[in-house]
Structure 1
Amino acid sequence: MASWLPETLLEIVGQGPAPSKDYYQLLVTRSQVIFRWWKISLRSEYRSAKPGETKDSHGAFLENSHLQGKFDFLERLSDNLLLSIISYLDLEDIARLSQTSRRFAKLCTCDKLWEKIVLSACDTVTPDMRALAEDMGWRQMFFTNKLQLQRRLRKRRQGQGSHRNSQL
């Protein structure tokens, strides 16, 4: 049976953290996980090092303690990909995740994440609501109760109306 998934599900390439210049690639296909590395160094003992590669099934890769202990793959994911993943978490899990590192604290409070959360939680977001969210922040808007939001929207409209009248 044909799969709707593409053959390559995820590919991440990059350089190791400073001062390393090593190259890494993580390739996840429908059937296996391929991890490749290439040691790049000016030190004589590494000059003749050849690139390495491991290929495992998904289950074998997850159980490979050599790879799991050595690399933090989550830290290597892009902010956009992490934000996409975080947006599926429950609020309690987002709060817990924000306490694990500075990077996750920043991601868990960023407007881009909370905009996704608000848009998925609300049936409609009017242009006035969007403008208010841009002013006050999407996270603040999410946690503001409906009555307070209605007051703020009314004040915003009144402020814009008086601003237009003063320009005339």
Structure 2
Amino acid sequence: MASWLPETLYETVGQGPAPSKDYYHLLVTRSQIIFRWWKISLRSEYRSARPGESKDTHEDFLDNSHLQVQVALIFGSRTLDYVFNLCRGRFDFLERLSDTLLLSIISYLDLEDVARLSQTSHRFAKLCRSDMLWEQIVQSACDTITPDMRTLAEDMGWRQMFFTNKLQLQRQLRKRRQRRESQQPALL
């Protein structure tokens, strides 16, 4: 593997599937996969159980179906796929970026590109539908956002607000104002 990669490529911890309370740790380095476990049980047969550790090279992990099944059960199939790709030398640096940073990057895309990106993975589909992204898009498209518009967007969703035509938005804002004004005298 390339020397520009950090020593630790991936690390996660998790708890075994119910009813287990066992603790697991998965560490992927440049040269090996380290899988650690701690049995946590009140049952007498496990009281003296010591923590365990398994170290495999990337090639050995690809051949170790038992360990692969354990990783999938504990950490999920997405993690297993990611570890497979790391072992095969396929590094997805986008996967390591935070959602906030990805949303910032996505907000610079054209709408057609946002639609295409949303079709590439579950994670990007979720990000491309998120209110945080569409709030940024609406703010960049509008000169000003009034407090009434912000309240309406929070109620109906920023994405829905973006795709609603101007006349419908003005009608909804007018209805909101009228409702608020009609409620104010009743409160006094």
Query: Which has more radius of gyration?
Result: 2
Letter in 2 for 1:158: Q
Give aligned-pair identity as a percent.
65
- Counterpart of 1:152? 172
What are structure 1's unaligned runs of at least 5 residues? 1-10, 24-36, 47-65
TM-score scaled by length of structure 2: 0.58
Q: 2:105 aligns with which of 85, 98, 108?
A: 85
Q: Determine if contact 2:114/2:128 at 8 Å carries over to the other structure.
A: yes
Q: What pairs with 1:1-168 in structure 2 (closer than 5 Å)? A: 15-16=10-11, 20-22=26-28, 37=30, 39=32, 41=34, 42-43=53-54, 69-168=89-188
What secondary structure, in the 3-state scheme, does the structure 2 residue paired with 1:108 have?
A: helix
Provide the secondary structure at the position in 1 that maps to 2:120: coil
Distance 2:92 2:159 in 1: 29
In structure 2, the gaps of 5 or more residues are: 1-5, 14-24, 35-52, 58-85
* Residues 133 and 14 of structure 1: CA distance in aligned 2, closer, same or farther (over 3 Å): farther
CA distance in 2, matches of 1:141, 1:158: 20
**Cα deviation digits, residues 78-124 of structure 1 (max 9, x gap):** 00010000000000110111111111111001000000000011011
| DSSP 3-state at the match of 1:22 | strand
Partner AA of 1:21 in structure 2? L
**Alignment root-mean-square deviation, CA:** 2.8
Kindly provide the amino acid, as one letter, of the partner of residue 54 in structure 2.
Answer: R
How many matched pairs? 125
